[in-house]
Amino acid sequence: MSEPIRLTLPRDSQSPQPERGTHRIFIGMAAGVGKTYRALNELRERLERGEDALVGVLETHGRRETLQAAEGLPVFPRREIVHGNVTLSELDVEGLIARNPFIVLIDELAHTNAPGSPHEKRWQDVEALRDAGIHVLSTMNVQHLESLNDTVARLTGVRVRERVPDFVLHDADELVLIDLPPEDLRERLRAGKIYAPEKVEQALGNFFTLPNLTALREIALRHVAQAVELEVPEGQPAAHEVVVVAMAAEGTAARLIRRGGQLAERLRGELHVVTVRPARLTPEASRMLDTCREITEALGGGFRVLDNVGTVGATLVAYARAVHATQIVMGETSRSRWAELLRGDIIKYVLRGTQGMDVHVISRD
């Protein structure tokens, strides 16, 4: 197994927050690379140094190496939640805050908590612990990052449902990249170190193919490095880029927002996601807008529904000018040719009305 790559994210020394707990994320390309194993070893080292260290939540999945690494470590009891006829156990956030350890390990950052938990997502539990001054070690796979959801789905054919907002990664104090060559990971899988024997062949032929793992490894290496590079050096202001994503309440909207989020991140710019209020909003479209708002906020952007000032194109141009947009991201039109003749081509209108702004038209495919 390769040595972990530790990348410390620079912090603004002018506004320190010593009262808030630090966050170190162990991140890798896929299950089985050794993230939890490394985090447990670090927790043990801290315990041996005399720090008040606890395992807050650990998902071993029955893996022998993980169980051995956790042996003898103090584990804080989980909170039991009754859901229907099933009793589930989750991280006891309130109990941990009352116990107030110095540092705690929280496994699987992208996990969705059981109904009835104080927070919907485990990453929100971590934020609450940090707000209480508790330091956190956590783990996650790169494919769970919100902005990479479409990229991972396109490369691997697998749509990841549990996701972590990008700001959680960028707000971390340190990223520890656990790197492992794809063929080594496949060997670990064949040896039964990741999944039960009956699941190995299926995993090797589906998610854990060599092309998938190679792509995920490259994504992990690039994105973690980019997360550090994008931090603005002390005293150096970022270029003022403003990215406006224009979307409609339809199936391609989420992908469009994530593409705009990636652009805003690379440019260190603001992210604005807008849609023009339709004359009639169906319940399905309303739910779609709620989802788009959640994705936008997860990427650190702002979401607005604009009142129509005449035509959709004119409304978008007026907003872009008002916020001094430098980049506009749009999707290929879903209108029929007849509708374009009657109401005009929105993309052409925006192109004509936004001189000096870069317009990106994203394929519907």
> Where residue 215 falls among pLDDT bands split at 50, 70, 90?
confident
Are 200 and 247 within one domain? no
Are 300 and 192 within one domain? no
Q: What is the spatial distance between Cα 236 and Cα 81, in angstroms, rounded to a whole number?
A: 48
Contacts (Cβ under 8 Å, ≥6 apart) of 364: 252, 331, 332, 334
Is the pTM higher than 0.85? The answer reads: no
**Domain carrying residue 161:** 5-229
**Residue in 70, 72, 44 with CA at minimum distance from that of residue 58:** 70
pLDDT tens-digit readout, 136-190 = 999 999 999 998 888 888 878 888 889 999 999 889 988 888 988 899 999 999 9
pLDDT > 90: what percent of the chain? 48
Which pLDDT does position 86 carry in this prediction?
Answer: 86
Question: Cβ–Cβ contacts within 10 Å for residue 223, how many?
Answer: 21
Are 191 and 105 within one domain? yes
* Token pair 């790169």 in the structure block, residue: 142
Per-residue pLDDT averaged across 52-79, rounded?
93
Are 246 and 205 within one domain? no
Per-residue pLDDT averaged across 78-98, rounded?
91
Are 91 and 168 within one domain? yes
pLDDT tens-digit readout, 243-274 = 999 999 888 898 899 989 988 888 888 999 99
pLDDT > 70: what percent of the chain? 87
On whether residue 237 sits in a domain, the answer given is no
Which pLDDT does position 229 carry in this prediction?
Answer: 56
CATH number, residue 141: 3.40.50.300
Residue 365 confidence (pLDDT) above 70: no
Are 221 and 247 within one domain? no
Helix H or strand E encompassing 273: strand 270-276
Which of 205, 229, 253 is where one domain is finished? Answer: 229
Total domains in the fold of the chain? 2
Are 223 and 252 within one domain? no
Which pLDDT does position 353 carry in this prediction?
Answer: 85
Give whole-number Cα distances, 212 to 200, 205, 218, 249, in Å: 16, 10, 10, 31
Which pLDDT does position 343 carry in this prediction?
Answer: 45
Which pLDDT does position 180 carry in this prediction?
Answer: 87
